[in-house]
Structures are given as structure tokens and as C-alpha cells.
Chains A and B, each alone.
Chain A
């Protein structure tokens, strides 16, 4: 008796031997309660996984996927912030206008240059830092937590502090450079100084985080590979380039993808660095306006939601382009090596 009641629990018909399985329909009719339980159990096995993943997909569909598509639809219309229910069909008018708009190309190049200035040194430094953290260290917990602390700092707070450190007249960085005889640099109004300063904020916040990702990957490299390299007479540098780097290659790709996404989205740092009035336009001459800022300016300062949506889709297209290129490069390099 005990075995027959638990039989449905084992995993339905396929779990039970052939004999009882044939008998079951008859018995089930005799015992509707158990039939109900079997049915319930089968339903549970089939439906529960979907029920468990449903919340993620429902929220994602409602608040990310549907808006994403709707952004595309909006970008074909003229919609104003004050009268959002009135949509006027524009076709690709927003796109041709954007194509001719100097500010778009300016924001695009700024996003790209700030992206490069912030990502490349950040990842290189993270690599070096991870290598250092990979030594047997006293106080390694301290160094790791210290490296990660900037990651816990809000964009707002980080940008405010750095704005002050980069201040022209009394900022600490100009004071420090002054010790070596440099003149004060106007970090905000020059194009390259401003982009450099903004990149510094990004680098400061994310280097430690990336370093920990690299460190984790480095620690997963089998020790034998280093030993083999050492036997072959590889120097430390050679071990680093020939064993460590290939060993953490997938993590490097992962961080490049993450940083690229982060760089296309850059918004808070330049906004706050511009200290309010200059923030949204990215400086008086748009010298550090990113695509994110342009999107915000179009939508919430110029009240043109349709055009903001167009900028958003341009960003989307850009991201896809970057990934296709990355794929291509990857395929080409893997073929040659």
C-alpha cells in the first residue's frame, strides 16, 4: 500500500513498472482522490518550472521589452512631452533629422572617445591590480575591499568629489600639478581635459570591480600550466602573457562587453561634472555631451519625446554594430591564430 501511494511521486508513468501502469486507469477510477493527486502532480512537474521563471519574464516584458519596441514605434512619430497622447506620424523624419544634426555626431564621437579613454586604461589597470592581488599577501582582504570600495560609491557622490578635486582654482589636482610647475588647467571647459576628468571618475569607480573579476579568473587557472611554463624557461612576463592572459580570456571579453555597454550609457558622471546648468548640454560647447545626455536633453529639456526615442534607437543600432564588429574581429583573430 505504501509503495503504491508513493508511486506517483517517483515521476509519473515512466517511473512505474509496466504491470501496475496498465492497472492504474481502473484503479484510478476506483479512487478518484488519487487520480486527482496524480494529475496534480503531473501538472506540478510540467507547470512549476514555467511558474518559477514567469515573474522574471513578465516584469522584463512589461518594463523592458515592450518599452523597447514602443521606443522604435515612437521614434517614427512626433510626440511632445506636454501632450504625450498626441502622436503625429513622421516616418523616418526623426532619423534623417538626427543624421543631419551636428549635436548627434558630436555626442556620438564624445561617447566614443570618453568610452575609449575610460575603458582601455581601466581594464589595463584592473589587469595589473588583479595580478598584484594574486600574490600571496598579508592583508589581502583589506586590499580587495579597498579596491572595491569605489564601486559602492554612488555616481552622484563620486562625481561631486571629483568635480571638486578637478576644480580650476583650488582643486587638489591642479594644486598637485602646480607643485611640479604646471599651470592651472581648466578641466571643465576644455574638451580633452573635461573628457579626461570624466573618464577618471569612471576609471576610479570600476577598476577595482574589474580587477576582482580578473582575480577570480586567474585563481581558476590550473597551477600546472605555470609550472610547465616555468620548466620551459618562461620568464614572469612571459608567463603572464602566455599563461595568465589566455587563461582569463573569456573574462576579459566579458569585461570588455560590460564596459562597452556602460560606456554607451554614460550619463550621470558628465551630468554632475557639468554642475547643473552645463550638465545636460555637456558643457557650454557640448564638449562632453554623451548620447545619454543628448537623449535626456531632447526628451526632457526640449520636450521632444519622439526625437529622444530616435536617439535611443540610434544607440541600440550602435550597440548591435559594436557586437557584430566584435564578433567579426573575434572570428578573424581566431582564424589567424
Chain B
């Protein structure tokens, strides 16, 4: 009786460990009983159907980007023919340089780099500071303040754009980069992310040890917290960078074509100002390329970071 009940569990573990538990030798002697329905245990090996479906998903994810490249490398007449082109043409560099000049993409790229880097750096710094305080320091009102941080995630940016626009005009920041940078210097998601990470990764004893050594809080932050927080900071940096790079609504309102970020410059491509379809695609490609390169290099880390934030969030 005991062997009977133990068997399904053991069999279920098999595909996971790859090592057959000793009892499975019994399997050959006994007639198989349909005790175990297919799919016991969690991690089965993927069958051909799963691979096929995943391949379709990957294709659908990547095809629009591939086609951006295809369209950007042909010319306008070829793009407008049926069937549409599927293979890259010879004009990629020509179109890229034309888009660079016509659509102010050079300026937009520089601006986007400045904006995204500044926002990502400050978000990481302030999120780590606040995350450390919320995770490891005791102070009055901590829980309420943390709830407040989480509550702010729910407030969409649309609610504040009108006064923000008036504010920026008054400050003389209209059409200038600080108008885009300042409102997004911090992020509630970032604070929460760092809090979750630090409350698990940073042992209390380490902070206490710093205190015993007579270090003040900022010193502890610098020499104890930062080294521990580094991996999470890197992930938060990349995710914030992606968001800041792609942020659209507010930059579109406050910036104009003389001084755009990438997403703002891309709207100009769509506005009928440029008629050449392959040129439009070249612009779109230029605007996405830096992030794609980042994804090729750091894709695993970004995926890991998003998943890490998800479990704990």
C-alpha cells in the first residue's frame, strides 16, 4: 500500500531530476496502472506542439521588427508593391542617413540618451535610498508611507499634465529637456522594487554591525547597502532606461520638433511630412536600435529583473 501511494510522487519527480528514484525499478515488473494522469509534476519537457507554438509566438514578436529593417532597406516604390518585400534590399545605409538628416534623428537620439540616462540614474539612486529605508530602517509612519508609495502607482500621468505644462511654461522650461526629466526623477515602482529586493537580500545583522562600528546611516548606505543592492540596481537602471526612452505622452506635449526625444521625432515621421515609406521605417529603426542592442546584450538580465520584481510584487 505504501509503495502504491509513493509511486506516483516518485514518478512525477523523475522528469525534474533526470534521475530515476530507486523504486521505479518496480515499474517493469508490474503492469502499469493508470494511477497517474499525464502531466504530473510541473516541469514537463516541452513537446513538439509546445515548440511549434513558441516558435509562432517568437515569430510574431520579432517579425514586425524584422520587417522594419526590411522596409528600411528597400525604397519607397518597392514597399508599396504587392506582395510586400520579405528580404532586405540594398538601401539600408542610404535610408538611415536620410532619416538621420530629415527627421532630426541625430538630435533626438542625443536628447533621448540624456533624458533616459539622467532619469534612470536618479531613479536608481532615490529608489535605493527609499527602498533601504522602507526595508531596513524603523521609523514612525513607515507602513502608511509605503502604502502611499504604492498608491501613487495608480495615478496616471494624464491627471497632472495640464498644470505641469503651465508650470513648465512659467519656469521657462517649455521645449527644454528639464521639463521632461524633472517630473520623472523618481518612480514608485522603483522604490517598491528596491524595498522588496533589499528586505530579502540585505541581512539585518549587516546593518547592525555597521551601527556597532559607529557608522552613520549614510555611511551604512554607502558601504553596506550599495554593494548588496548592486545587481538589483543594474536591473532597475535598464528597466527605467527602457521606460524613459519610450515615454511618449508628456514629452509629446512639452517638447516640439526643434528639440525632440525619439518618440516625439517619430510622430513627425507619421504626420505626413515625409512621404517616403522606407524612410519612415528607417527612422523607426533608428529610434529602436539602441534599445534592441541593449536587449541583445542584457536581455537575460532584464527578463530576470522583471520576473524577480513580479514574484515579490
* Residues in chain A within 8 A of chain B (CB atoms): 6, 8-11, 40-41, 44-46, 48-50, 52-53, 55-57, 59-60, 63-68, 70-71, 74, 84, 128-129, 132-138, 141-165, 169-172, 175, 178, 204, 208-209, 212-213, 215-221, 223, 226-227, 230-231, 233-236, 239, 251, 254, 257, 261, 264-265, 267-268, 271-272, 275-277, 279, 291-292, 295-296, 299-300, 305, 308-309, 312-313, 315-316, 319, 323
Nearest-CB residue, chain B, relative to A236: B39
Within 8 A of A (CB), among B211-263: 211-214, 216-218, 221, 242, 245-246, 248-249, 252-253, 262-263
Cβ contact within 8 Å between B139 and A46? yes
A135-B45, A235-B39 given; 16 more Cβ-contact pairs under 8 Å: A55-B129, A55-B185, A59-B186, A68-B155, A144-B300, A152-B246, A156-B263, A160-B281, A161-B284, A175-B82, A208-B61, A212-B307, A235-B37, A261-B154, A265-B157, A268-B248
Contacting residue for B310 out of A45, A129, A251, A267, CB 8 A = A251
Q: List 28 A-B contacts (CB under 8 A).
A: A10-B211, A52-B137, A84-B166, A135-B43, A141-B300, A145-B299, A148-B303, A149-B61, A150-B61, A152-B294, A155-B246, A156-B263, A156-B267, A157-B266, A161-B68, A164-B281, A165-B67, A169-B82, A204-B64, A223-B41, A231-B8, A231-B35, A268-B248, A271-B267, A295-B161, A296-B253, A299-B161, A309-B163
Nearest-CB residue, chain B, relative to A214: B310
Where chain A touches its partner, the secondary structure class is helix
Say how far A74's CB is from chain B's closest CB, in angstroms.
6
Contacting residue for B163 out of A66, A137, A170, A220, CB 8 A = A66
Chain A residues, Cβ within 8 Å of B218? 48
Cβ contact within 8 Å between A234 and B37? yes
Within 8 A of A (CB), among B164-203: 164-167, 169, 182-183, 185-186, 188, 191
Nearest-CB residue, chain A, relative to B138: A49
Cβ contact within 8 Å between A216 and B311? yes
Cβ contact within 8 Å between B155 and A64? yes
Q: A141 to B58, alpha carbons, bound, how many Å? A: 12
Contacting residue for A145 out of B38, B212, B295, CB 8 A = B295
Summed over the interface, the residue pairs from A and B with CB atoms below 8 Å come to a total of 364
For B84, B216, B264, the residue with the greatest tally of chain A CB atoms inside 10 Å of its CB is B84
Say how far B84's CB is from chain A's closest CB, in angstroms.
5
Q: A268 to B291, alpha carbons, bound, how many Å? A: 19
Interface size on B, residues (CB 8 A): 122
Where chain B touches its partner, the secondary structure class is helix
Asked if B57 is at the interface (CB within 8 A of a chain A CB), the reply is: yes
A272-B266 contact, Cβ under 8 Å, with A44-B217, A56-B126, A64-B160: yes
Say how far A335's CB is from chain B's closest CB, in angstroms.
25
Q: A227 to B5, alpha carbons, bound, how many Å? A: 11
Within 8 A of A (CB), among B128-142: 129-130, 132-134, 137-139, 142
